[in-house]
């Protein structure tokens, strides 16, 4: 008995194009998820930095007996933050300390980098 074998071993062009298309689609989905995860991580880190700077500002006001309308400088606030280093926004934004009774603000607030009232 002879088993039918073909001399045309391999994949056709259509099969290869389908596989490449599927790999491309999976890559597109993975890249979108990676970008979303990176943006979320940057936003969460920025919010943590804003909370740290607000806590440092509040501590500065208490220790120096300043009113709620006082506006500390970055140098004064960073003394009350761990390692005495004022944090920076991971997304490239800049922080504004403002007065004691207002929350610090990030220039990236349009993308969710802002403290919300509890």
CATH number, residue 51: 3.30.1300
* pTM (predicted TM-score): 0.77
Number of domains in the chain: 1
Residue 47 pLDDT > 80, yes or no? Answer: yes
Q: Within a domain: residue 8?
A: no
Rounded to 5 degrees, what are φ and ψ at 64?
-100, 10
Q: Which residues contact 66 (CB under 8 A, 6 or more apart)?
A: 60, 72, 100
The parent domain of residue 29 ranges over 21-109
Q: What is the pLDDT of residue 2?
A: 60
Mean pLDDT (the chain) is 89
10-43 residue pLDDT tens:
889 999 999 999 999 999 999 999 999 999 999 9
Residue 76 falls inside a structural domain:
yes
Q: With 90 as the cut, is the pLDDT of residue 56 above it?
A: yes
């Amino acid at each position: 008995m002879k088993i039918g074998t073909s001399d045309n071993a391999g994949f056709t062009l259509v099969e290869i194009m389908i596989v490449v298309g599927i790999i491309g689609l999976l890559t597109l989905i993975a890249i979108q998820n990676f970008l979303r995860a990176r943006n979320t991580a940057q936003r969460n880190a920025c919010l943590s930095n804003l909370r740290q700077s607000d806590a440092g500002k509040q501590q500065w006001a208490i220790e120096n007996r300043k009113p709620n309308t006082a506006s500390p400088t970055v140098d004064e606030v960073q003394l009350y933050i761990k390692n005495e280093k004022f944090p920076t926004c991971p997304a490239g934004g800049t922080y504004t300390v403002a007065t004691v009774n207002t929350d610090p603000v990030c220039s990236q607030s349009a993308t969710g980098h802002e403290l919300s009232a509890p």
